[in-house]
Structure 1
Amino acid sequence: MSNIQPTLLILAAGIGSRYGGVKQLDQFGPNGETIIDYSLFDAIRAGFGKVVFIVRKEILDDVREVFAPKLEGLIDFDFAIQGYETYVPASLGNIERSKPWGTGHAMLCAWEQTSEPFAIINADDFYGADAFKTMARFLSEDEVSSRHAMVGYELKRTLSENGTVSRGVCQTDEAGNLLSVIERTKIFEKDQAIYFEENAVLTELAPDTPVSMNFWGFKPSVFPKTQALFEAYAQANISNPKAEFYIPIVVSSLLSSGESTCRVFKSTSDWFGVTYPEDKPVVQQQLNELHAKGDYPAKLWNR
């Protein structure tokens, strides 16, 4: 059995335009815990050995101030900056952007801080302890450099009552390997059915459709491929300031080329997250219930 302790990357550079604030640092737990706090707590007890916060430069100091005192002596940690021009070919010149380049680009921005197999998650999603245990086991034991993984959730368990959501809609084979993942940015429930909208056309999705909530597990071999894909994407989208380079773009390329495979682990954990301000009281109630059940101690950090 390998002694590798995987790294956890946290996608915390988002602007949160629909939420209306820096939800990465908003307080949801009974003692003012952020959602990131629960991911950190679960990752540490699952055996992760390092955490890297991927942030915008504007919020670096705030993120460091909130989390560094909690993590000192418990786990190694570092910070990576997702800049608008990071890893963008210099030949493209200055590109005007109103938002970061997306999750795939964010992952690339943590390359220098990441040498071990790693998981990558959203800052504003609660994934549950079992998801971290499953991914930590895979990353520490699987030695095939071209084999990656993701934790999948049932679509019906990932919706918001307050508006549309974005999800990576997945297809898998009988062995549990990922065949395809397509980012759908407008998914919603209507008349007891679930749809995604694209180009003003509605397409129904089955409630138990597996979806990616951006809980991926990668071997470091993914970074050079991601860099090449992103450079091509940036070139193709130089005049599109809203274009985003998603992790599913990377995964889809690896699968279609036959370079890699991706295991899909079906989560037994509850998932919940915040997209809109109206989601906050629901998340607060769910976290309070988990504390009351004893899934988490009365205080996550005794500091």
Structure 2
Amino acid sequence: MQPTLLILAAGMASRYGSLKQIQEFGPSGETIIDYSIHDAISAGFGKIVFIIRENFAADFKEIFEPKLKGRVAVDYVYQEMDAFLGDHQVPADRTKPWGTAHAVLCAKNAINEPFAVINADDFYGTDAFVKMADFLKNECSPNLYSVVGYELGKTISEHGSVSRGVCEVSGGNLAAINERTKIYKDNDQIVYEEADGSKHPLSADTPVSMNFWGFHPSVFELSQSLFNEFLDKSIDNPKSEFFITIVADEFTRRKIGEVKVIPTSAKWFGVTYKEDAPGVQASLSALVANGEYPDNLWK
């Protein structure tokens, strides 16, 4: 069975200030998502599922449907604030979505096979897709999930802080993952900053998650259970988020299974801030010039 690629494209784009998911970066107007889908199809993924907000569904479909028709199966899922809440009610002061793990949970009825999860606004590279497809086809099980590990130093923005899942690895598997929401360069070193303002150094070769995960569909049942626990504890905090890292951490902590860390030689780049955009365009132009991608992905 061919694996599915789930693309998280429902983000509010608050820091970036526009729908960066559909901004054109490639030489023929390609978005970052186009490159991810191109790499996924080449690696053997059989279906693409987009998680989007319903209020920009029409614009989104208009961009991607003509490109992908006849190339790969496509489905759409909306991340609604009240989805999978059970007996809980959305608090009146809640404005932001519940987070990445809730977004994945919203795809429960659209996916029945091993699948990968990626962000819409990150470029992950061919090597990462090839390795993930191989894992999903040959290793993935209810007891073994995976995450692609990138070197932290290659994932920093020059224009502000970034959020990363910092991985502790033991025997090739994830021992722990900590969501660090404020990582940046501080003179010659990389640091993460706590809520109290304290700073802690991180090595440039620290493996980090860029939200490229490999899951068995059993993850949906676990996510629903953990989301219920999250809501019981945090529903009244308007800024609380249910991250994929919470699910992965509990999967290992409760000894349900292991999360394999897949190292990659691929260079990551992404758009966290508007100022990142020229660098992304330059990086894509260089890859096209080197022959790694055609100058028009969908010709």
What TM-score range do you get, normalising by the shorter chain? over 0.9
CA contact (8 A) 1:187 1:197 kept: yes
- Partner of 1:45, secondary structure, is helix
CA contact (8 A) 1:166 1:185 kept: yes
Q: In terms of mean alpha carbon deviation, does 83-92 or 254-263 score higher? A: 83-92
TM-score normalised by L of structure 2? 0.98
Letter in 2 for 1:194: I
- Asked whether 1:295 is paired with 2:292, we answer yes
Conserved 8 A contact 1:92-1:235: no
Aligned partners of 1:13 and 1:55 also within 8 Å? yes
Alignment partners' CA distance in 1, 2:281 and 2:190: 25
Distance 1:139 1:263 in 2: 11
Question: Relative to structure 2, which stretch is displaced further, 93-102 or 24-33?
Answer: 93-102
- Is the contact made by 2:81 and 2:90 (CA closer than 8 Å) also made in structure 1? no
Any conservation in 1 of the 2:140–2:214 contact (CA below 8 Å)?
no
Query: How many residues end up aligned between the 2 structures?
Result: 298
SS of the aligned residue for 2:289 comes to helix
Percent identity between the aligned chains?
51
How far did 1:191 drift?
A: 1.4
Aligned to 1:92: 89
**Aligned residue number for residue 127 of structure 1:** 124
Kindly state the Cα deviation for residue 140 of structure 1 after the two structures are TM-superposed: 0.6
Decide whether the 8 Å contact of 1:85 with 1:95 is kept in 2.
no
Query: Equivalent of 2:172, from 159, 170, 176?
Result: 176
Which residue identity lines up with residue 199 of structure 2 in the other structure? L
Over the aligned positions, Cα root-mean-square deviation in angstroms equals 1.0
Structure 2 residue 30 is the aligned partner of structure 1 residue 33: yes
Secondary structure (helix, strand or coil) at the match of 1:262 reads strand
Cross-structure match for 1:238: 235
- Aligned equivalents of 2:57, 2:124: Cα separation in 1: 24
Q: Is 1:131–1:267's contact at 8 Å kept on the other side of the alignment?
A: yes
Aligned equivalent of 1:219? 216
Q: Secondary structure at the match of 2:158?
A: coil
Aligned residues of 1:104 and 1:246 also touching (Cα < 8 A): yes
1:76 equivalenced with 2:96 (yes/no): no
Name 1:187's counterpart in structure 2. Answer: 183
Q: Deviations over 1:14-60 (max 9, x none)?
A: 01111010100111111111000000000000000001000111111
Give unpaired runs (5+ residues) of structure 1: none
What amino acid maps onto 2:172 in structure 1? G
The one-letter code sitting in structure 1 at the alignment partner of 2:14 is S
Summarize the Cα distance change of 1:289–1:143 in structure 2 as closer, same or farther, 3 Å threshold.
closer
Please show how residues 24-63 of structure 1 align to structure 2 within 5 Å: 24-63=21-60
Q: Give the Å deviation of 1:97.
A: 2.0
Question: Aligned-pair distance for 1:286?
Answer: 0.3
| 1:261 paired residue among 232, 248, 258 | 258
Distance 1:151 1:6 in 2: 16
What is the CA-CA distance between 1:272 and the residue it aligns to?
0.2
Which secondary structure does the structure 1 equivalent of 2:133 belong to?
helix
The 1:66/1:162 distance shift into structure 2, 3 A limit, reads same
TM-score (norm 1): 0.96
Contact 2:140 2:215 in 1 (8 A): no
* Unaligned 5+ runs, structure 2: none
Deviation at 1:93, TM superposition (A): 5.5
Question: Offset at 1:90?
Answer: 3.1
Structure 1 window deviating more from structure 2 (81-90 vs 248-257): it is 81-90
Cα offset for 1:99?
1.2
Q: CA deviation at 1:94?
A: 5.0
Residue 264 (structure 2) pairs with residue 271 (structure 1): no
Aligned partner of 1:213: which letter? M
1:134-173 alignment, distance < 5 Å: 134-142=131-139, 144-173=141-170
User: Structure 1: how far apart are the matches of 2:89 and 2:268?
Assistant: 40
Amino acid aligned to 1:197: E
Corresponding position of 2:204: 207
